[in-house]
Chain A
Amino acid sequence: MSKQRLTREQIAERAALELPDGAYVNLGWGIPNLIATYVPKHVTIYFHSENGILGMGPRASQGQEDFDLVDAMKAPVTLIPGAAYFSQVDAHVMTRGGHLDICVLGGLQVSEKGDLANWRVPGAKGAGGIGGAMDISVGAQRLIVTMEHTAKDGLRKIVKTCTYPLTAIECVNTIITDLAVIDVTPEGLVLREVAPGFTPEEVQEFTEPKLRYSGKVPEMAIKRP
């Protein structure tokens, strides 16, 4: 049987399982933005958008868009019952002040200490942009990073020390990739789950720092193809 790394959608599907009912959650750009689709029907998540919304619902359907009601990616969205609007300052009182239960961001590199680099590739053209990522990383009660386990050129993204410009230090709690679920702990990186068909040894090969695990590591629960 040939085994395949998870798709971006499957990474999002697995990440959605980390969100408990009733949680206040901020989702970043990229794979995190796919997660809302995979929240189970019986679970209500109050999504936060750093431009000033709590209780964001799905994207607005075509013809129903209100361009005064957009998310942090400029996409027209809807609200769910219990939603509220507020200013940018209050939006970041929520991020920085530690009021959000869980935040999920994309990543370029994560270090074994949980340092995150996700806003700039060194040498890239243009000015780049920080956006809300630094405020969110520092303040999240629990920060999950979803990303591909390795870069397109095969380089490892889970590293001993980040070489890309940092977003925040010692901020990541869990890394969910196309190969594994890894928790950042004071003792180091703990391999919690592997993608179906992969062994811990194979995941270790794609990971620079040493992974800790014992016995049989369970497989990530993925339902959708």
Chain B
Amino acid sequence: MDRKNRVYPSVDESVADIPDGATIMFGGFGGAGFPNNLIQGLARRDARNLRVISNNCGTGDGELGILFKNRQIRHVVAAFPGPGATYFQQQFDAGDIDLELVPQGILCERMRAFGAGIPAFYSPVGVGTDVAKGKEERVIRGKRYILEQALGADYALIRAQRADRMGNLVYRKAARNFNPIMATAAKTTIVEVEEVVEIGALDPETVVTPSIFVDRIVVAKGLRYV
């Protein structure tokens, strides 16, 4: 592997090895920071039976919508699938999709734990609710907590504004959201960016995701929002 150049020539080549049945994280929240070009690449590749970890489940055909429309997804881990996730909602109501609903802060903390080598952690979120069902509960210093498992993936598909050739990443505004966390929690992290710069051109003080968490970079200027 050439660590000094992780740039792939095209979107399609960057996702070409994603197999059927893969577990994939997708960055993005509320229309900002979705790797829409990589998602389109995955739709063209037609990998199926995917397990998807994402805050939302698409807006019409946009964002993850196209993958549901193509029936490429079987399992979902999400915090807020969303009323605009038409194809997801249809398939969920038909019983074709298996869904794990997770509180948003726990969704990303489980990823953070996985990336940090922590297998599970106790949390106060969801104590006494449906979220606690089947989970170990423990009282620590007089308060109730439930055990949450770390959450990792085979691939993370994310979006940043700018990368250097090694994969140091800078994000833009609220498009950062889940992207830097997912980068730490997947075996292979693929990032689409607006621009790639030479190594040394990014101010180290401003790097949000250090290159150690990034495997593949692809420049994709189109389809920023849906």
What is the interface of chain A, defined by CB distance below 8 A to chain B?
A: 49-53, 66-74, 85-89, 91-92, 95-96, 115, 125-135, 138-139, 165-169
Contact = CB atoms under 8 A, between A and B. Distances in A.
Interface string B113-139: 000000000011111111100000000
A69 B174 CA distance: 5
A132 B105 contact: yes
Contacts of B203: none
A135 B93 contact: no
A96 B93 contact: no
A85 B129 contact: no
B108 to A, nearest CB: 4
Residue of A53, A125, A169 with highest tally of chain B CB at under 10 A: A169
Given A73-B30, A129-B80, A129-B82, A167 B112 contact: no
Which among B29, B55, B78 has the greatest number of chain A C-beta atoms within 10 A?
A: B29
Given A92-B104, A165-B130, A87 B181 contact: yes
B205 to A, nearest CB: 15
Interface stretch (B9-17, B39-47, B95-103): B95-103
A138 B125 CA distance: 6
B82 A51 contact: no
12 contacts: A87-B180, A88-B29, A96-B125, A125-B93, A126-B92, A130-B102, A132-B103, A132-B105, A138-B127, A165-B130, A168-B126, A168-B129
Nearest to B106: A135
B177 A68 contact: no
B103 A89 contact: no
Nearest to A73: B30
Contact of A134 (B32, B55, B131): B131
A68 B34 CA distance: 10
A123 to B, nearest CB: 13
B83 interface: yes
B89 interface: yes
Shortest Cβ-Cβ A-B pairs, 5 listed:
A92-B105, A135-B105, A129-B80, A134-B103, A169-B128
Contacts of A168: 125-129
Interface in B50-108: 55, 78-83, 88-89, 92-93, 99, 101-106, 108
Nearest to A130: B103
B141 interface: no
A169 B173 CA distance: 34
Nearest to B180: A87
A68 B80 contact: no
Interface string B177-211: 11111000000000000000000000000001000
Nearest to A136: B105
Contact of A52 (B82, B106, B111, B174): B174
A92 B103 CA distance: 10
B108 A89 contact: yes
B173 A85 contact: yes
A88 B54 CA distance: 12
B125 A88 contact: no
A124 to B, nearest CB: 11
B216 interface: no
A91 B55 CA distance: 14
Contacts of A132: 79, 103-105
Contacts of B108: 87-89, 92
Given A68-B172, A70-B30, A96-B125, 9 more contacts: A51-B32, A52-B174, A53-B174, A67-B32, A89-B181, A96-B123, A115-B128, A135-B103, A168-B127
B155 to A, nearest CB: 18
B106 A51 contact: no
Given A72-B30, A126-B92, A165-B129, A87 B106 contact: no
A71 B171 CA distance: 16
Contacts of B109: 89, 92, 96
Interface string B135-164: 000000000000000000000000000000
A49 B224 CA distance: 21
B89 A126 contact: yes
B175 A68 contact: yes
A68 B171 CA distance: 10
B173 A69 contact: yes
